[in-house]
Amino acid sequence: MAKLGFVGLGVMGSEMVLRLLSKGHTVTGYNRTRSKAERLVQKGMKWGDSPRAVAAAADVVFSMVTNSAALEAIVEGPEGILAGLTPGKFYVDISTVSPEYSRVVAAKVRAKGCDMVDAPVSGSVITLQEGKLSVMVGGSRETFEKLKPILLEIGPKVTLVGDNGLALVMKIATNLSLAVQMLAFSEGVLLAEKSGISREIAVEVLVNSAIASPMIKYRGPFVLRLPDEAWFNVNMMQKDMLLALELGRKLDVPMPSTAVTNEFLTAARGMGLVKEDFAVVYDVLAQMSGVSR
């Protein structure tokens, strides 16, 4: 069993820690708001007073935070992860951040005699709880092979995508499609609804039709009732859409459906829905259509 560390104990991070604890690993964790970690401490997680303390206590350090700025905050400085790394350790960042900045961090980790991979995941809390999460990895093959057994305990599908940063590119490419699919699904529901078909029946038909991706199956019903706690909120999704648009500009890849969907996320922000799950794009489109939730 490995000595692991985990920085960033949000919804997904907490569930990952629970899985790692259930496999018998020792996990030391840190979160900016300690109260969110209390249930994990009760389940056997050790508490670290800072990202540095977590890195010092672990052989493999994981992190999962909201964006590049948050990653910089936990990595840099006298109490950051870098300060706690000693030669031979590994750092696995699961956050969805700028591939360019992730490569900068990886270079600093290697300068400490350690190695880093970016390992974003595809799936939701439900996917994770069901043991169906997939993990994309960017980094050296040698490090990948060493870390793969632990990553397989987070999700059953672990794929080396390429060098550092490329797993993040793959994650961004995946997430843009989630939002685009949700907007298209909402259009279909509203077209049926305004024609006289009940929303419930429209959703039932669509989530069992040829267009029903795994995401549509579990998120489609959110047009009937949003979850009490967002699985992936508007703010988080728009961050990924903006990363996608930035990457598209750099690579000269036109992204028309991403750009349009991003505007609906902006509209959701303007309507005060930023903390809702990104499935709330249905509400934006519904209001434009004269339909109330």
Enumerate the active-site residues: 171
Convert the chain into a string of H (helix), E (strand) and C (coil): CCEEEEECCCHHHHHHHHHHHHCCCEEEEECCCHHHHHHHHHCCCEECCCHHHHHHHCCEEEECCCCHHHHHHHHCCCCCHHHHCCCCCEEEECCCCCHHHHHHHHHHHHHCCCEEEECCEECCHHHHHCCCCEEEEECCHHHHHHHHHHHCCCCCEEEEEECCCHHHHHHHHHHHHHHHHHHHHHHHHHHHHHCCCCHHHHHHHHCCCCCCCHHHHHHHHHHCCCCCCCCCEHHHHHHHHHHHHHHHHHHCCCCHHHHHHHHHHHHHHHCCCCCCEHHHHHHHHHHHHCCCC
